[in-house]
Structure 1
Amino acid sequence: MDDDDRADLHEAMRIVGAALGGAQIPFALAGGFAAWVHGAPQSEHDADFVIREQDLSTARDALEATELRVEDPVENWLFKAWNGEALVDIIFRLDGDPIGDDLFERTDSHDVFGVPMPVMQATDILSEKLRVLTEQRCNYSNLLPVARALREQVDWDAVARRTEGNPYAAAFLYLLEALDVIDRVPGSTGADTEPESGAGAEPGAVTGHTAS
């Protein structure tokens, strides 16, 4: 992203934040830029905002009244607002689930590029990033800097509960434990168990059988 694209994206975020705030609906800055507000490296990708699904029409009307170009993609969980080539995603379902009022109640207001706006809490940011991990979408290198930067602000027990059943999230939590980024948390794959016979033996130690 060059300087002009970055400036267009920041301006788009200001416009979206002001428009949604003026519409008086619950909303929050989410994703990589929300993580940046809490201390993570600044995102070089599109910006994300979240709203309730019942406020979709109000949000669309508010953004269509601005200079942004509003677009409905094939996906049925968001719409898009463009400022030139700079893109803001307006998301109303997270991982297929409607966004509840409790998420917005946990937000804090921050000044983002000169516009005060609600920002998603660190625990919610990490929970949502881990919930969407799949075999095809599992880039830990993008997640590690965020987890390191936000680790003191995150309720990792809550993250483990919210991502229970996702093996890629569990593996990432185990990785954070192994790297001493966080303490052991419930739900991670790093359970306290004794190694099986031969596991962890020193090189050359007798383990009960030899290679043929």
Structure 2
Amino acid sequence: MATDEQSPFSDLESSLKRSAAALREADIPFLLGGSLASWARGGPETRHDLDLMLKPEDIERAVAALGDAGMRFEDPPEEWLVKVWDGDTLVDLIHHPKGTPVDDALIERGEVMSVLGMEMRVMALEDVLVTKLMALDEHALRYESLLAIARALRERIDWDDVRSRTTQSVWARAFFVMLEGLGVVPEASPTTGGHETRVRVLTPRSSAAANVG
């Protein structure tokens, strides 16, 4: 996922082209993920690192293919991704994002799009948001990019799907409160879990009634 360091957007474009070409040549399926997946659909421009989603079993081959293309490998302490560097541009190869596994189903949900003149699968917007929301915690709690994506692409996102898949995260629930306040999504209707709620009102018995019988 994104770091605080930024690269010129032209560098990200170049690295995406080089990475996609190398993975395609090696016949390795992948998804363009992260903020670039929203940018490809008209969302805000990003200057953070490049996220590519790959199945865990394809990571070693992907690292080798990108190494053959002149990129250098870095093994970070995080267990859910590996990193390669194309010059000064960081490319994250993500194999275990939070919220959804990278498998054939995730890749098939991606939309085949022309990005920078190359056809590639781009991660579904709902999956982008789910993985970003589920990655939030009290030590990494930044909503700026999420809000920018939501406001730019609100009509293209299945919000019910995103909400239902992230409801266990307090940070995701807070995000939806913000979206409701901003008018991006309608306020959620309170539910009773599918069960009718009955309230029994107790009133004091009158003294007369208390003395009867």
Residues 184 and 121 (structure 1 numbering): CA distance in 2 closer, same or farther, change over 3 Å?
same
Pairing 1:35–2:25 present: no
The answer for unaligned runs of 5 or more in structure 1 is 194-212
Are 2:56 and 1:53 aligned? Answer: yes
Alignment of 1:169-184 (within 5 A): 169-184=172-187
Task: Work out which of the residue numbers 101, 104, 107 in structure 1 matches 2:107.
Answer: 104
Report SS of the residue matched to 2:42: coil
When the two structures are superposed, what TM-score results if normalisation uses the length of structure 1?
0.81
Q: How does 1:1-212 map to 2 (within 5 A)?
A: 1=6, 5-95=8-98, 98-185=101-188, 191=190
Q: Is the 8 A contact 1:157 1:185 kept in 2?
A: no
User: What percent identity do the matched residue pairs reach?
Assistant: 41
Q: How many residues align?
A: 187
- Equivalent position SS for 1:128: helix
TM-score calculated relative to the size of structure 2: 0.81
CA contact (8 A) 2:126 2:161 kept: yes
Tell me how far apart the structure 2 counterparts of residues 143 and 90 of structure 1 sit (CA, whole Å). Answer: 21
Task: Give every structure 1 segment of 4 or more consecutive aligned residues whose post-TM-superposition deviation is greater than 3 Å.
Answer: none
Greater CA radius of gyration, 1 or 2?
A: 2
For the Cα contact (< 8 Å) 2:59–2:93, is it kept in 1?
Answer: no
Q: What SS is found at the alignment partner of 1:109?
A: strand
Q: CA deviation at 1:6?
A: 3.2
> Distance between the aligned counterparts of 1:21 and 1:35, measured in 2?
21
8 Å Cα contact 1:38/1:122 also seen in 2: no
Tell whether the 8 Å contact from 1:156 to 1:185 is kept in structure 2 after alignment: no
Is the CA contact (8 Å cut-off) linking 1:33 and 1:43 kept in structure 2?
Answer: yes
